[in-house]
Amino acid sequence: MSLDQPAHRRPRVAAAVLAGGVGSRMGSAHPKQLLRLAGQTILERSVAALCAAPEVDEVVVVMNAAHLAEAEKILAEGRYDKVSRIVPGGASRSESSLAALQAVDDYDDNDLLLLHDAARPLVSGRTITACVTELTEVGAVGVAVPSSDTVVQVTLDASGREVIAAVPDRAALRRMQTPQGFRLGVIRRAYARAFADPGFTATDDCGVVLRYLPEEPVRIVTGEESNIKVTHPSDLAVAEALLRTGVAQ
C-alpha cells in the first residue's frame, strides 16, 4: 500500500473494457466493438454498463490500436465521466489484459480490477455488483453460467476426423463469461508468472490465476444467459432481440 493512503480506506475499483480485438469471426471490415447495436456501439454499451455501476470508480478502455482515435472520439462525445484512460491493446487478449494492468499501475495490490470483454455489451448491474461483493472475501472471481448443452471433449481419429474422447459431467461444467475480477496483487502476480512462461496461452483471465497461482481460490458468480459475447453475425441479431424484448437493457 502506498504511504499517502490511509490503511483502512475502501479499495478502489477499476474496470477495464477489453476492446483490443479485430472481430475476425464477425467478418466485418470494422472491429465488432465499433458496430452498432440498437443505435449505440457495442463498445459504448459495455462502457456504459460499467460506468453505471456504483461500485466502479474508474473505467479503462483497452482499444485496438488501429482504432484508438475513433474510440476516443466516440467516448468523448458520449461523456462517459468514469473513463479515465484509453490505451492501445495487444496482439492477444492476454496482452490486452496486461495493458489494462499497466494502465492501473498506480493502484495498490489491495485494490480491485474487473476485466470485461467489450464484446459483452449486455452485462447487467447485478452481475457487476456480485463480482465486487465476492472480492471482499476472495482474490479472484469469474462470472459463469451452467451449460444447457452436453459438452464433449474431442480428439482426431486416424483419418483426421473429430471423434468424442470424453463426456465430462455436465453438472460440474460452467461456461465462463466476464467480468472477471481480481485483487490487483493476485492478477499482477499471475500475469508476471504467465508472461515469464514461453508456452503461455490463455482464453480468459481466471484461467491465468488458476494455472499460475494454483493456491488462489477462483470463485464463481452465477451469471445471466443474456450476457452473451457478440462473436458471430447471428449474435448481433440475438443481442438486438434481447434488448427489444427487455430481457437485457
Ligand X SMILES: C[C@](O)(CO)[C@H](O)COP(=O)(O)O
Ligand Y SMILES: Nc1ccn([C@@H]2O[C@H](COP(=O)(O)OP(=O)(O)OP(=O)(O)O)[C@@H](O)[C@H]2O)c(=O)n1
The smaller minimum CB distance to ligand Y, of residues 11 and 101, is found at 101
Q: What is d(CA 120, CA 56) in angstroms, rounded to the nearest whole number?
A: 17
- Region 107-136 residues binding ligand X, contact defined as CB under 6 A: 117
The answer to whether 200 touches 211, Cβ cutoff 8 Å, is: no
Judged by beta carbon distances under 5 to 8 A according to partner kind, the member of ligand X, ligand Y, none in contact with residue 62 is ligand Y
CA gyration radius, the chain: 18
**Is residue 204 part of the contact set for ligand X (CB under 6 A)?**
yes
The closest residue (CB) to ligand Y is 21
- Region 105-134 residues binding ligand Y, contact defined as CB under 6 A: 117-119
As a whole number of Å, the end-to-end CA separation of the chain is: 38
The smaller minimum CB distance to ligand Y, of residues 92 and 110, is found at 92
**Is residue 93 part of the contact set for ligand X (CB under 6 A)?**
yes
The answer to whether 98 touches 202, Cβ cutoff 8 Å, is: no
Closest residue by Cα to residue 94 from 9, 193, 6, 225: 193
The answer to whether 103 touches 87, Cβ cutoff 8 Å, is: yes
Distance of CA 152 to the CA centre of its chain: 25
Q: Which residues contact 18 (CB under 8 A, 6 or more apart)?
A: 62, 89, 93, 96, 97, 100, 115, 116, 117, 118, 178
- Region 30-89 residues binding ligand X, contact defined as CB under 6 A: none
Q: Site for ligand X (CB under 6 A): which residue of 111, 229, 230, 243? A: 229
**Is residue 93 part of the contact set for ligand Y (CB under 6 A)?**
yes
Judged by beta carbon distances under 5 to 8 A according to partner kind, the member of ligand X, ligand Y, none in contact with residue 92 is ligand Y
Helices (H), the chain: 42-51, 68-78, 93-103, 125-134, 184-195, 206-212, 233-244
Q: What is d(CA 95, CA 197) in angstroms, rounded to the nearest whole number?
A: 14
Judged by beta carbon distances under 5 to 8 A according to partner kind, the member of ligand X, ligand Y, none in contact with residue 71 is none
**Is residue 142 part of the contact set for ligand Y (CB under 6 A)?**
no
The smaller minimum CB distance to ligand Y, of residues 11 and 179, is found at 179
**Is residue 23 part of the contact set for ligand Y (CB under 6 A)?**
yes
Q: Which stretch binds ligand X (CB under 6 A): 36-44, 100-108, 160-168, 173-181?
A: 173-181
| Mask for 35-74, x = binds ligand Y (CB under 6 A) | ---------------------------x------------
Residue numbers at the binding site for ligand Y (CB under 6 A): 18-25, 33, 62, 89-93, 96, 117-119, 229, 231
Q: Contact positions toward ligand X, by CB under 6 A?
A: 93, 117, 176-178, 203-204, 229, 231
